Structure 1
Amino acid sequence: MKLSRFFEDLMSVYRAEIEDLKSDSEGNNILKARLREKASQLPLLLPMMASNPEMLASAFHQGFIFLNPLVLEALVGKEEVRLPEWKSLSAAVRLEFWAEPLAKTVLAEPAGDRFLVTAAALEYLYRGVQSRKGSAAADADQDDDEQNEENDDRENGDLDGQYGRHGRDDGDDGDDYDLGEAGADWLAEQGFDRKE
């Protein structure tokens, strides 16, 4: 996915804004309360819509339902002057029920149409970053588990992993080799007589 300079610049400040809203000074998760507060302040923030859209866009965090990711992928590659009208995205993006009154407030403003498209694109990008982080963390955990198992095998002298996690043969290698017979063979090799 290729981001336009417009969305590339805005995305970092939007992400920082959401992260800032997530917790208080004691580390408690207070995102829902802060989002409600931000939504109630929306009419006061309208003058910042053109200069600092991320400040208002955060009021719409988790307020979009994305139906067609391909449309959004194309959208985030556009510069601000080339953004489509909000109505043109109706087949690709819907608002959550609680976000509809906020959207009406914003769309009543001259720059509201472009702002709502921008907010939807920022939220789409934010969710994509979060899911990639989650996926990368899961992949890293799996890689760590595999690496730890491999290190255990090395420490136990089992370089090809044939002895499992504990570095010894558990006897389940598919053949019916008798351990007693193996012991007798070894003793015979050492010069002892075979016991019958």
Structure 2
Amino acid sequence: MSFSPYFEELTSAYSAELDDLMTDSEGRSAIKKRLNEKRKQFEALLPMIEFSPEMVAVTFYNAFSFHAPQMMRTLMRSEPDDDDFLVWEEIKDNLSIADWAQPLVDAAIEADGGDVFLVSSAALEFHRLHDSHSAAKSASAEPDEHDTEGDDNDEQESDDLGESGSNWLAEQGFETIDAN
């Protein structure tokens, strides 16, 4: 997938920020603790959305689930100053927000630049959850069912992502909950 220059730079910075949060100096998993700290400090971090949005966007790690993948992919090809850059009101009905994240969303939308920040944060999470997974599958020469335009594979995609997420968490040292 090709991104606009805005999202190209932002996804790279976001990935680097997540990498920094993953482990402590001794190599132990630290993401859960670090994300909880950032979420508690969210309102104090909001002024950073203008110059380092990726440092604040990580607070929305696992905050969204998406119902319109093609809309999110189209969004990531646009720039905030473009007429086709979606606003929060246009995308919020096409995603689910975790209960714990709703107060953060409410605070962000009230901040200067909050609309673009929230849309960008959702796009970054979408890419992390969907397109990064698709890219890994494409690289391994498997068919990429994530780029289909229909919703026929949504349930399978959700199962695949859930399994991939559980596997990744286990690799990071987290205990996983077996849904069976």
Instruction: State the TM-score, normalized to the length of structure 2.
Output: 0.71
Output aligned runs, 1:54-69, within 5 Å: 54-69=54-69
Alpha-carbon deviation of 1:96?
A: 1.0
Alignment partner, residue 123 of structure 1: 125
Alignment partner, residue 108 of structure 1: 110
Alignment partner, residue 40 of structure 1: 40
1:50 aligns with 2:46: no
Which amino acid counterpart does residue 33 of structure 2 have in structure 1?
Answer: A
Which protein has greater RCO, CA pairs closer than 8 Å, 6+ apart?
2
Alignment partner, residue 77 of structure 1: 77
CA distance in 2, matches of 1:32, 1:15: 16
CA distance in 2, matches of 1:138, 1:7: 25
Which amino acid counterpart does residue 23 of structure 1 have in structure 2?
Answer: T
Alpha-carbon deviation of 1:84?
A: 1.8
CA distance in 2, matches of 1:77, 1:133: 17
CA distance in 2, matches of 1:19, 1:133: 18
Alpha-carbon deviation of 1:133?
A: 5.9
Runs of 4+ with deviation above 4 angstroms: 136-140
CA distance in 1, matches of 2:114, 2:20: 24
Instruction: State the TM-score, normalized to the length of structure 1.
Output: 0.66
Which amino acid counterpart does residue 53 of structure 2 have in structure 1?
Answer: P
Alignment gaps of 5+ in structure 1: 141-196
Instruction: Determine what percentage of the aligned residue pairs are the same residue.
Output: 36
CA distance in 1, matches of 2:100, 2:136: 27
Alpha-carbon deviation of 1:40?
A: 1.0
What is the RMSD computed on CA atoms of the aligned residues? 1.9
1:68–1:91 CA contact under 8 A, matched in 2: no
1:9 aligns with 2:12: no
Alpha-carbon deviation of 1:129?
A: 4.8
Alpha-carbon deviation of 1:105?
A: 0.9
Alignment gaps of 5+ in structure 2: 143-180
CA distance in 2, matches of 1:137, 1:29: 27
Alignment partner, residue 26 of structure 2: 26
Alpha-carbon deviation of 1:134?
A: 5.0
Alpha-carbon deviation of 1:91?
A: 3.0
Alignment partner, residue 188 of structure 1: none
The count of corresponding residues between Structure 1 and Structure 2 is 140
Alpha-carbon deviation of 1:110?
A: 2.5
Which amino acid counterpart does residue 121 of structure 1 have in structure 2?
Answer: A
1:49–1:115 CA contact under 8 A, matched in 2: yes
CA distance in 2, matches of 1:68, 1:106: 22
Question: Out of 87, 90, 94, which is 2:89 matched to?
Answer: 87
Output aligned runs, 1:151-166, within 5 Å: none
**Alignment partner of 2:27: what SS?**
coil
Alpha-carbon deviation of 1:113?
A: 1.0
Q: Tell which structure's C-alpha radius of gyration is larger.
A: 1
CA distance in 2, matches of 1:3, 1:42: 28
Alpha-carbon deviation of 1:52?
A: 0.8
